[in-house]
Amino acid sequence: MSKNLVIVESPTKAKTIKKFLGRNYEVIASEGHVRDLPKSTMGIDIENDFEPHYITIRGKGGLVTSLKKAAKKSDFVYLATDPDREGEAISYHLAIALGLEDKKFKRITFNEITKNAVKDSLKSARTIDMDLVDAQQARRVVDRLVGYEISPLLWEKLGKKGLSAGRVQSVTLRMIYDREREIDEFIPEEYWTIDAYLNVPAQKKPVQFSYKGDIKTKKEADEIAKAVTNGSFVVSDIKNTTRTKKAPLPFTTSTLQQTAASRINYATSKTMRVAQQLYEGVEIKGQGTVGLITYLRTDSTRISEEADKSAREYIEANYGKEFVAETSEDNGKEKSQKNIQDAHEAIRPTNVNITPASIKGKVTAEQYKLYKLIYERFVGSRMKPAVYDIFSVTTECGGYSFRASSSTLSFAGYLNVYNSEEDKDNNKDNLSGINKGDKLVSDSIDAKQHFTEPPAHYTEASLVRTMEENGIGRPSTYAPTISTLLNRRYITKEQKNLYITELGEAVNGIMMTAFPEIVDVEFTANMEGLLDSIGDGNVDWKVVVRNFYPDLEHAISVARDNLDKIKIADEESDTICEECGAKMVIKYGSYGKFLACPNFPNCRNTKPYFETIGVSCPKCGNDIVKRNTKKGRPYYGCINYPECDFMSWARPVVKPCPKCGKYMVIKGKKLVCSDNECGYVEERTDFEEE
């Protein structure tokens, strides 16, 4: 019998697939790419129409030799790398590196690693899709041009090697910077709420009724509170309504990353690592290696007919026919966008009968938690909506309206399988005994002052959502982009929030000054669209690169010419090096600025750099300096720390608040009192657009 060779990326995937194929098949892993652009040089011949120069990846020569021998001994080779652009490119480079002839190899793909999917893929083997290869190649070339042309300029300007720029990472850094600036410039606005706690029949405790209207000042709040205190609240309106809540659609890459971050506290990189394990196959006692989920890099919510049917049968058998969604329309229209890799499905379990409970204790805790999330989301997506009965009561007192409502879950629907804290019915008040015209006696009136909140800091989850909404990057790039920014220390993570560091601000400042198009969200999204169109076969990849490069080349030329004008590295300080007597210079490190001796490496003296801002500490009178947290986030604190614990995220100014005397801070174009309750604001006279 003839011998067939199947080449996949990972040893785990090879082990899983080997189970489904007989002795006539040998399955070997390439361990990812075997050819790539060189690391030490650009690797792109710009003069020769941007022709890329690929080399065998260092350390993989022996593996390539082994693969060649295996291919030579085989009658036929199947290239079974992942079903996306990157996988197509790996297969293409394998064919080149192994010297495979067209008649001797085919490309196969499968969205899940199951026996049926693998065997079916062999029946529909095809040639390599060069449109997908070119789409990956175009991304690689454009990203290499951006990174290798701009990064050396960052090294020069900041005096720190190892910095990098990137087509996706730089615009993502800009998005984080813009959010942080929006937060820094936010000026809180005062508002008030008034709640009347009324005695309701059949309720042991008074029920909270809220005033329905905007209250801006304490004066307004006091007037309303005075008018209703000790007054009689008459029930003026009662409404009985129902509300349906549809189940969320099955996971895409971005929604999985977002939900895993909020529900099980997984970073995006961890989510993708564990999902990769579930896709390639995990060892389950008594079953061997099993691929538990479908392919994890997708922006489609489509589900195959076979999987949809299996889920509905499972729901009917375990919950009842009344819980089965009649059509997928019951739970929202499945996503259809021009960018969707529609060869893929949504992320779902490969077998709905492999329940989370059945594998608990047989897989790692990390794998169990993520599989449970994916499984429950998928099953829930095939179930009917939840239905709530809403009972609303409006009361009138002194010409003012107050309202309360209670909700009761009348049909659980998908909540039997997939729910979260926000889905739970936390409203315990029973208002059903109230009738129109009833008079309710007040127990107490509570007026509270509030201040509007700034936009939330990005978390990994919300950043991924914003990247997707703006068309920045693709499913495979979200996690690596965030990891790169964290590893470069351009951003830092505290609890779940992301903050830009002083180093990140410096890098972003240069990018915004010298390369505004690279960090423009709309420009990057348009470029993503062009790169996608290559994969659709609508545009030649070199046309995209030819049109992109001249503008990049011009921007780099201008930046080089103006390098001295915007250079911010090696600024001389007044601090004398106590070891050699030289004036120390300001440099950038992983955590921001520090002082270093200019005679390095002969003198290696360094010390912290405290940038005074000419403002005295309101607590002790010493200087306020710009500092960084341990993770690199900038703030303003007293130079006398830890004896004095004064700190402010916003920059303080010399001028005290003319209204209350407390210190004021800079908020964009305005000076604002540090005390929200004071609320004093004035225009800055020294403002310059930064």
Q: Which residues are catalytic?
A: 295
C-alpha count within 13 angstroms, C-beta hemisphere, residue 371:
30
DSSP H or E segment with residue 277: helix 268-280
Distance CA 426, CA 406 (A): 9
Phi, psi of 107 (to 5 degrees): -100, 135
DSSP state of 216: -
Residue 608 tokens, joined: 């912290």
CA 295 to CA 378: how far, in whole Å?
Answer: 14
State the distance between the two ends of the chain, measured CA to CA, in whole angstroms: 73
Q: Cα separation of 515 and 504, whole Å?
A: 15
Q: How many CB atoms lie within 10 A of CB 190?
A: 15
User: Of how many residues is the chain composed?
Assistant: 690
H-helix segments, 404-538? 460-470, 478-487, 502-514, 521-535
Contact 293, 276 (CB under 8 A): no
Q: How far is it, in rounded angstroms, from Cα 408 to Cα 419?
A: 16
Structure tokens at 211: 């005033």
Rg of the chain (C-alpha set): 31
Tokens 């950043």 belong to which residue? Answer: 463
What is the Cα–Cα distance from 23 to 44, expressed in whole angstroms? 43
